[in-house]
């Protein structure tokens, strides 16, 4: 996920001990460690920025796909309703024609 750019874990930072000189911690050692920490923070920030951009793009695509799905479902429901409506109308028409034929041609046929 981090492409191997992150060098330190939180445990590394917690466990880090510096050697003490007469005047305190060795400045070059502390500076080197802080440079690594800063590098990791920069990498974390770049990764977060990249993931947020990707998330935004995916959310936009998700919204478009949801809208398209709603539209397709509405079309399917309309088509099914239309088909069912035509079937009912066709059945009604066939019944009416049958009744008219009975009247015109006689009830026995």
Asked if the structure places residue 3 within a domain, the reply is: no
Asked if the structure places residue 5 within a domain, the reply is: no
Asked if the structure places residue 69 within a domain, the reply is: yes
Asked if the structure places residue 92 within a domain, the reply is: yes
Range of the domain at 26: 10-105
pLDDT at 108: 57
Two tokens, residue 56? 């935004």
Domain count, the chain: 1
Asked if the structure places residue 2 within a domain, the reply is: no
Question: b/e map of 82-103 (b: 16 or more CB within 10 Å)?
Answer: eeeeeeeeeeeeeeeeeeeeee
Asked if the structure places residue 1 within a domain, the reply is: no
Per-residue pLDDT of the chain (109 residues; tens, 9 = 90+): 455 677 777 777 778 887 877 777 788 888 888 888 888 888 888 899 999 999 999 999 999 999 999 988 888 877 776 666 555 567 777 788 888 887 777 765 4
pLDDT at 18: 76
């Amino acid at each position: 996920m981090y492409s191997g750019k992150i060098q330190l874990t939180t445990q590394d930072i917690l466990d880090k001990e510096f050697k003490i000189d007469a005047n305190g911690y060795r400045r070059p050692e502390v500076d080197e460690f802080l440079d690594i920490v800063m590098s990791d923070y920069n990498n974390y920030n770049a990764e977060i920025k990249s993931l947020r951009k990707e998330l935004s793009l995916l959310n936009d695509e998700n919204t478009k796909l949801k809208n398209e799905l709603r539209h397709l479902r509405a079309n399917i429901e309309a088509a099914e309703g239309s088909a069912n409506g035509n079937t009912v109308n066709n059945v009604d028409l066939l019944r009416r024609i049958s009744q008219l034929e009975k009247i015109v041609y006689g009830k026995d046929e």
